[in-house]
Amino acid sequence: MSPKLIHHIRTMTQSPQRRRVVVTGLGVVSPLGTGIELAWQNILKGQCGIVSLQGNEYSKLPCRVAGLVPLEKDDKVTKALSKSNLKSMAPATCLALVATAEALADAEWLPKSDIDRESTGVAIGMGMIDLKDVCDTNEALKIGYNKVSPFFVPRILPNMAAGHISIKYGFRGPNHAVSTACATGAHSIGDAFRFIRNGDADVMVCGGAESCISPLAIAGFSRLRALSTSFNDEPRKASRPFDKKRDGFVMGEGAAVIVLEEYQHALERNAKMYAEILGYGLSGDASHITAPRDDGSGAVLSMSRALRDGCIDKEKVTYINAHATSTPIGDGIEATAIKTLFKDHSRNILISSTKGAHGHLLGAAGNLEAVFTILACHRGIIPPTINLEEPVDDLNYVAKESKPWTVDRRVALKNSFGFGGTNATLCIGQL
């Protein structure tokens, strides 16, 4: 019996409590740039990827700013968004493939054997389909049935990013796609974490992708009064989590992919390890389709369950990467939840939201921000909340500039909350 087969049988039959899960690869396509190092350095420098939306179709809308992925001629993202690819794939799927290629290369995991491919799964989610594709196809149908692309339905299915990644790399482990609005990315990572911990896979490629910025999407969110409208002439100031002048979130686009791996599996192949996923918590607000509970109890449940799942004492948490989207209601409720759960210890917790720099990537928000949380654990530096000039309260916010994170062991929470009252929290720790 080969050593690989012995390892596969042993690790896939270990009790779930004994299977640790670590991060071995990262990949990013974001408004702050494509590639881990570029995006990370830009976030630490306080750069902003939010720009004005160009075109007459946006000129009469209340919100005219968004976080767009920067494109340059012949770069990898531009090539991925080629006409031939977009014929059969949604833009979000193209971005997910770019981020996945970087993450797998970073992890040095491109398995060739059947055993390795069968123990590698994919969990990539998407929050919204491309509404423009739906509108364009409806117009095509008015001309004639034959004008409807045979790829139309596969393009708009939220699980197709996961499907294309699985097909391209031959991964035959769990093939999973979460769609839980703005909690999608965090749920994808958390579910992948449990697949490994429970013995369903040794390696998971997980995260989320989103590319749905269009006049219709902007109009729809504007009608909900969810988007920022006060900074159309100063787009870099529009997203301002926890600031008293916040007036709504800013839509963003991109993809972030994380390679999770069972600890012994990573150890035996001498893989680089960034951090460990310690716990995962979920909850439902059961309150309102868009607004969280006033008392923050949904977030309290989510955070406390992540800590319980990871057997982590509250006092061990010294950083929270907040969901905080820059909405008047949501940011304050999340702050209330942090105070409620951590009580006096909340003053010892550093808090930041990177959405000021890249906007709200909807289904790709939690995973992009999880990448930044993982790097903070790995490198001991916390990314700032830009545009935070007048904090909503007296919590220990990391504002404007990054801050060293110096404790014996770095342990963080990453929160993500979505419409419908769906909540997710990841507990991430330094190795």
CA end-to-end distance (rounded Å), the chain: 32
User: CB within 8 A of 77, min separation 6: which ones?
Assistant: 29, 34, 69, 71, 94, 95, 98
Residue type, 404: P
* Nearest partner of 96 among 155, 31, 162, judged by Cα: 162
Closest CA to 53 of 278, 196, 229, 194: 229
Beta partners for residue 261, in sequence order: 22, 203
- Identify the DSSP state of 17: G
Q: Could you tell me which of 41, 113, 38, 43 has the C-alpha nearest to residue 76?
A: 38
Phi, psi at residue 261, to the nearest 5°? -150, 145
| DSSP state letters, 108-124 | T----SHHHHHTEEEEE
Nearest C-alpha neighbor of 383 from the set 47, 31, 13, 34: 47
CA distance 156 to 356: 29
What is the maximal distance between C-alpha atoms in the chain? Answer: 68
Catalytic residue from among 63, 182, 212, 377: 182
**Residues 6+ away with beta carbon under 8 Å from 172:** 117, 118, 120, 166
How many whole angstroms separate alpha carbon 86 and alpha carbon 92? 10
* Active site (annotated) includes residue 94: no
Q: Residue 258's closest CA among 309, 322, 191?
A: 191
Q: Label residues 364-402 b or e (16+ Cβ within 10 Å = b).
A: bbbbbbbbbbbbbbbbebbbbbbbbeebbeebbbbbeeb
Residues 6+ apart with CB under 8 A from 277: 21, 22, 23, 189, 193, 260, 426, 427, 428
Residues tagged active-site = 182
